[in-house]
């Protein structure tokens, strides 16, 4: 550990030298690194899936689709669009600045730091890496120590496939992350919780380093009276219990019209049974809580009460980090489960009078990372869209919007700042440099002192 911390300053300095030397400035160099990253994901699929199973017991389908598949999509999209993204953009020049030409030139920021979380430990490490490389930056990757098997696989294979002068992996915990944050970077990209996000932002401020913060929050699902309840229940159950609820855009709680609460709850229980059987503990398709500390945190929320009934689920098995899909009914606004993002397989259901009441509940809290609305009425959907603010919205489904490559992904307010994926990611790691070119002739005297009366009149007329 001490050795890792001690070498961080020289590691960052070496990446700065590589950037200054232009090792990834050329588009072909960027393309090569992206192609190598793709090779790694294809050739090392087995070890990656094994690591994800060790850390979170992710089912292979979930692990491939949400981790490897997402990263491959980002790489393929970047390779396809790299030339277009990097091309200078010509802009018009007003008459008063002619003769001359103007353009916006995308250029890399420099050396960037990417700090990943543990819940999707590979995807959320590599998905930001793709646009960082496409934009021409050198990169320090900090995988999460809470998912140690995946961190070890990344640390093993990334240096084997990518140029170590361009990408470095730093493993470890708080001490290593703290040491990294003391260094001067040109951008810091952090995915995680708001508490650490504030620490990252404070450290970045000392160097005036821009940050992207991908945080979380209590993402609501609104179920209107006219929703297809069977479909809504199935899709909410899938989005919530995917990865055992450890997903930043998982539906955190449900606001359901009181007139259909019982029908929705019954449909939700059927969906859970259809997905995971009589005992989800024995389902090969249900993940585990990442560690005992988080299991204790989640069970403490249940022990704190503030709800009328546990409709299904409960405490599970600490030794196996198992917490079953848990649905709570009659949840009070001041319940412990409603005070912060749950980040686990606990789903509170809150009955509301109507969609307007649901909107007021959402707006009383922090702006969420995602919002889900289920309704058969365009008018209802448009009302929710126009009267709420969130990082993203998905109508009549959950989570899937994150996989649409060309949709920017990011939060707003307490759920984050900045966005990425596809062109939005490229722009995050790029400076759009304004360039105006002027010929040396003609060189009219109107710009230069002395400012005689006729010059002032011309300026007033044409500007």
What is the Rg, in whole angstroms, of the alpha carbon atoms belonging to the chain?
A: 25
83 and 134, same structural domain?
yes
189 and 231, same structural domain?
no
225 and 211, same structural domain?
no
Terminal-residue alpha carbon distance, the chain:
62
Is the pLDDT reported for residue 1 higher than 60?
Answer: no
- Residue 443 is assigned to a structural domain of this protein: no
* Residue 365: cis peptide before it, omega within 30 degrees of 0: no
Q: Are 398 and 252 in contact, with CB atoms under 8 Å apart?
A: no
- Give the residue numbers marked as catalytic: 214, 248
Residue 180's pLDDT is: 98
Instruction: Choose the final residue of a domain: 354, 384, 405.
Output: 405
Residue 452's pLDDT is: 81
Percent above pLDDT 70 for the chain: 99
Residue ranges of alpha helices (H) inside 64-209 are 70-86, 123-134, 148-161, 174-181, 194-205
227 and 211, same structural domain?
no
Query: CB 102: neighbour CB atoms within 10 A?
Result: 16
Please write the tens of the pLDDT for every residue from 84-99. 999 999 999 988 889 9
Instruction: Give the mean model confidence (pLDDT) for residues 33-59.
Output: 98
- Residue 191 is assigned to a structural domain of this protein: yes
Residue 118 belongs to domain with CATH number: 3.40.605.10
**What DSSP element (H or E) covers 115?**
strand 111-115
Packing angle of the helix pair 27-43, 148-161 (nearest 10 deg): 130
CB-count exposure of residue 80 (10 Å: 0-12, 13-18, 19+): exposed
Give the number of domains in the chain.
2
CB-count exposure of residue 445 (10 Å: 0-12, 13-18, 19+): exposed
- Residue 349 is assigned to a structural domain of this protein: yes
Instruction: Give the mean model confidence (pLDDT) for residues 216-226.
Output: 97
Residue 446's pLDDT is: 84
Please write the tens of the pLDDT for every residue from 381-419. 999 999 999 999 999 999 999 999 999 999 999 999 999
CA–CA separation, 359 and 250 (whole Å): 18
260 and 209, same structural domain?
no
Residue 444's pLDDT is: 85
Give how far the C-alpha of residue 78 lies from the chain's centroid of Cα atoms, to the nearest Å: 17
Residue 457's pLDDT is: 83
287 and 233, same structural domain?
yes
Is the pLDDT reported for residue 463 higher than 80?
Answer: no
- Residue 225 is assigned to a structural domain of this protein: yes
What does the block give as tokens for 291? Answer: 């560690």
227 and 134, same structural domain?
no
Please write the tens of the pLDDT for every residue from 111-147. 999 999 999 999 999 999 999 999 999 999 999 999 9
Please write the tens of the pLDDT for every residue from 2-44. 678 999 999 999 999 999 999 999 999 999 999 999 999 999 9
Instruction: Choose the final residue of a domain: 384, 405, 426.
Output: 405
232 and 206, same structural domain?
no
Nearest to 60 by CA among 48, 70, 42: 48
Please write the tens of the pLDDT for every residue from 259-316. 999 999 999 999 999 999 999 999 999 999 999 999 999 999 999 999 999 999 998 9
243 and 388, same structural domain?
yes
8 and 157, same structural domain?
yes
- Residue 355 is assigned to a structural domain of this protein: yes
- 221 DSSP β-pair partners: 254, 372
- Residue 463 is assigned to a structural domain of this protein: no
CA–CA separation, 234 and 282 (whole Å): 20
Residue 285 belongs to domain with CATH number: 3.40.309.10
- Residue 452 is assigned to a structural domain of this protein: no
DSSP state of 396: S
423: phi then psi, degrees, rounded to nearest 5:
-60, -35
Residue 266's pLDDT is: 98
Residue 2's pLDDT is: 63
- Range of 229's domain? 220-405
- Residue 454 is assigned to a structural domain of this protein: no
258 and 147, same structural domain?
no
Please write the tens of the pLDDT for every residue from 143-200. 999 999 999 999 999 999 999 999 999 999 999 999 999 999 999 999 999 999 999 9
Residue 448's pLDDT is: 87
248 and 204, same structural domain?
no
Instruction: Give the mean model confidence (pLDDT) for residues 360-380.
Output: 97
Residue ranges of alpha helices (H) inside 242-320 are 261-276, 292-303
């Amino acid at each position: 550990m001490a050795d890792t911390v001690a070498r961080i300053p020289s590691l960052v300095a070496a990446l700065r030298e590589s950037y200054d030397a232009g090792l990834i400035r050329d588009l072909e160099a960027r393309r090569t690194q992206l192609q190598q990253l793709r090779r790694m994901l294809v050739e090392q699929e087995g070890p990656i899936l094994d690591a994800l199973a060790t850390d979170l017991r992710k089912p292979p389908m979930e692990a491939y689709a949400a981790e490897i598949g997402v990263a491959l999509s980002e790489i393929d999209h970047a390779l396809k669009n790299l030339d277009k993204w990097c091309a200078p953009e010509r802009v018009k020049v007003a008459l008063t600045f002619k003769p001359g030409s103007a353009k916006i030139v995308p250029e890399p920021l420099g050396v960037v730091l990417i700090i990943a979380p543990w819940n999707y430990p590979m995807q959320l490490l590599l998905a930001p890496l793709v646009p960082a490389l496409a934009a021409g930056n050198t990169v320090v990757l900090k995988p999460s120590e809470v998912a140690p098997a995946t961190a070890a696989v990344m640390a093993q294979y990334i240096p084997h496939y990518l140029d170590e002068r361009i990408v470095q992996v730093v493993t470890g915990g708080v001490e290593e992350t703290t040491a990294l944050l003391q260094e001067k970077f040109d951008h810091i990209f952090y995915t995680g919780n708001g508490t650490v996000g504030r620490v990252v932002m404070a450290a970045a401020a000392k160097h005036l380093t821009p940050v992207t913060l991908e945080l979380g929050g209590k993402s609501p699902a609104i179920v209107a009276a006219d929703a297809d309840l069977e479909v809504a229940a199935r899709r909410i159950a899938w989005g919530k219990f995917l990865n055992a609820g450890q997903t930043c855009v998982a539906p955190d709680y449900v606001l359901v019209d009181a007139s259909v609460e019982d029908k929705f709850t019954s449909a939700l229980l059927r969906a859970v049974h259809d997905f995971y059987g009589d005992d989800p503990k024995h389902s090969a398709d249900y993940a585990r809580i990442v560690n005992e500390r988080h299991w204790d945190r989640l069970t403490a929320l249940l022990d704190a009460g503030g709800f009328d009934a546990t409709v299904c689920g409960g405490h599970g098995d600490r030794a196996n980090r198992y917490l079953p899909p848990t649905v709570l009914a009659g949840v009070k606004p001041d319940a412990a489960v409603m005070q912060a993002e749950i980040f686990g397989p606990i789903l509170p259901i809150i009955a509301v009078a109507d969609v307007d009441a649901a909107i007021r509940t959402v707006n009383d809290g922090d702006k969420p990372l995602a919002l889900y609305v289920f309704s058969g009425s365009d008018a209802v959907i448009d009302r929710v869209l126009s009267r709420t603010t969130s990082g993203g919205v998905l109508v009549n489904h959950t989570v899937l919007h994150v996989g649409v490559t060309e949709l920017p992904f990011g939060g707003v307010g307490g759920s984050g700042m900045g966005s990425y994926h596809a062109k939005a990611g490229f722009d995050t790691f790029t400076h759009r440099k304004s360039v105006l070119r002027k010929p040396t002739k003609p060189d009219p005297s109107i710009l230069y002192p002395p400012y005689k009366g006729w010059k002032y009149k011309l300026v007033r007329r044409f500007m």
